[in-house]
Structures are given as C-alpha cells and as structure tokens.
Amino acid sequence: DIQMTQSPSSLSASVGDRVTITCRASQGVRKYLAWFQQKPGKAPKSLIYDASSLHSGVPSKFSGSGSGTDFTLTISSLQPEDFATYYCQQYSSYPFTFGGGTKVEIK
C-alpha cells in the first residue's frame, strides 16, 4: 500500500498568513492527488484534484502543486473560515490512501 505522510500534523497561524502543507507519498502517484478540508462535525469538502486543479467554487487562495511523490497545498492568505483539518488522498493505485491530516489552528 502507498503511505501518505502529511506534515506538519498541526500548525498555528494568524489571519493573513500564507500556509503550506506538505504531503509525501511512499511511492509515485503521478498527478492523482486530492486535497480536502474538514471542519469539526462536518463532512469533508473537496478542494483540489489531480494535484493542482481547483474544484468549482473553491476560492483561488487555495492552490496545489507537485507530482510523483511530493505535493503541497498552499493557502495564500488565511482567513477565519480556513481554520480546519486538511487531508490529502492518493487515487493512483488501490487501495487508495489518505494522509493523517493537518490541523490548522488560530495563533
């Protein structure tokens, strides 16, 4: 199975900060990497697919990059509604696997 490792597991940031979350795959997943945002008690929301394509309706402050084994999610200017847990997922080979999550908290 492909292991997905997210770093950091948590971070504290201020409104307006630029935030970068990293996701590393134990083997290459080509471009087949998605990012999700989850708030407490809610279902996850899809942000990015194919490593860098933004889902419709997702603000352009979110961006994704990378291919192969190393990927990043960047939030250009953190806003109060962005405090949440973020997950990456590879869908290159079965079983599909998720990263452990990155909790973004208010500093």
Partner 1 sequence: EVQLVESGGGLVKPGGSLRLSCAASGFTFSNAWMSWVRQAPGKGLEWVGRIKTKTNGGATDYAAPVKGRFTISRDDSKNTLYLQMNSLKTEDTAVYYCGLGDAFDIWGQGTMVTVSS
Smallest distance from the beta carbon of 43 to partner 1, in angstroms? 5
Task: For residue 63, state whether it binds partner 1 (rule: CB under 8 A).
Answer: no
State which residue, 24 or 45, has the beta carbon closest to partner 1.
Answer: 45
Among 25, 29, 69, 89, binds partner 1 (CB under 8 A): 89
CA dihedral 14, 58, 74, 68 (to 10 degrees): 160
Smallest distance from the beta carbon of 77 to partner 1, in angstroms? 26
What are the CA-CA distances from residue 90 to residues 4, 5, 22, 87 (Å)?
Answer: 8, 11, 13, 10
- Cis peptide before 8, with omega less than 30 degrees from 0? yes
**Spatial CB neighbours of 67, under 8 Å, sequence gap ≥ 6:** 30, 31, 51
With CB under 8 A as the rule, give the number of residues binding partner 1: 23
Which residues make up the interface to partner 1 (CB under 8 A)?
A: 1, 32, 34, 36, 38, 43-46, 49-50, 55, 87, 89, 91, 94-101
